[in-house]
Structure 1
Amino acid sequence: MRIRISWPGGRLTATLDETPTSSALAGALPIVSTARTWGEEVYFDTPVSPALEADARQVVEAGTVAFWTEGDALALPFGPTPISRGEECRLASPCNVVGRIDGDPRMLATVRPGDPIRVDRV
């Protein structure tokens, strides 16, 4: 499944894998939320509360679409966070990996804290 993530300064698409978390997200679309940033990561609240999956990871590649179960939030890292070691994308805690951003994840650098953010099915 593909989704579109849009905010006042831009938009991008992502391809989701078939996981329990992505199924829960799909059932909640469209999602409208408020963007927050943490280093080079954008995250925002969602109305779903999936469980932590067995293959959850804390260190991921830039452009990974992750779900932070501790905060019921979608996490979109595009570079280092405050707890990263070097240039890695280290999330606050292990997250469910649900997909990958199509194209350049650095577009997320245009998201500002407080921006309205919307996720729709493409």
Structure 2
Amino acid sequence: MPNKIVISTEDFEVEAVLLEEDRPETCEKIWNALPIEGKASLYKEEIYFEIPVDIGPEDATPSAEKGDVSYWPEGNSFCVFFGESQPVSPVNTFAKIEESSEEFRGVESGEKIEVRKG
């Protein structure tokens, strides 16, 4: 059974499945750092926040799809892509939200985000 993470705010929570075969180092380091929390920053249709993990590019890609959960090496940040926007620079996509990511549209800058093992 694949590892899952839970991303939550004050108003909702969603599960994401880790893509362990595609990004094993990124998945392992983030999994081992959980639980983590941060204050949301917004960039187009993406939420991100700095986390206490340092990972270099791992087959990093300059694109993202709706529902992708990624690590941004340049900013040591956890990212959730909830729309059609693309990252400012390559990211290590390491998990996928299988249900809707639309609820993230209501998240405001500075709002607390928590990530834990699912």
Per the normalisation by structure 1, the TM-score is: 0.88
Q: 1:9, CA displacement in angstroms?
A: 2.3
Does the aligned pair in 2 maintain the 1:9–1:110 contact within 8 Å?
Answer: no
- The corresponding residue for 1:83 is none
**SS in structure 1 at match of 2:26:** helix
Q: Any conservation in 2 of the 1:64–1:99 contact (CA below 8 Å)?
A: yes
1:28, CA displacement in angstroms?
0.5
Correspondence 1:106 to 2:102:
yes
| Counterpart residue number, 1:35 | 40
Q: 1:49 and 1:106 mapped to 2: Cα distance?
A: 28
- Residue 26 of structure 1: SS of its match in structure 2? helix
User: TM-score with structure 2 length normalisation?
Assistant: 0.91
Q: By percentage of residues, which structure has more strand?
A: 1
Correspondence 1:60 to 2:56: no
Question: Which residue of the partner structure matches residue 91 of structure 2?
Answer: 95
Query: Cα deviation per residue 1:26-72 (whole Å; 9 max; x = unaligned)?
Result: 1100001111111110111110011101x211111110111100000
1:10 paired residue among 9, 12, 21: 12
What percent of counterpart residues are identical?
A: 33
Distance 2:108 2:17 in 1: 23
What RMSD, in angstroms, separates the aligned Cα atoms of the two structures? Answer: 1.0
C-alpha separation between the residues in 2 aligned to 1:22 and 1:34?
21
In the other structure, the counterpart of 1:78 is: 82
How many residues align? The count is: 113
What secondary structure does 2:37 align onto?
strand
Gaps of 5+ in 1: 81-88
Partner SS for 1:20: helix
Runs of 4+ in 1 over 2 A off after TM superposition: none
Cα displacement (A) at 1:102: 2.2
Gap runs ≥5 in structure 2: none
Amino acid aligned to 2:110 = G
1:25 partnered with 2:30 = yes
Instruction: Provide the rounded CA distance (Å) in 2 between the counterparts of 1:106 and 1:40.
Output: 10
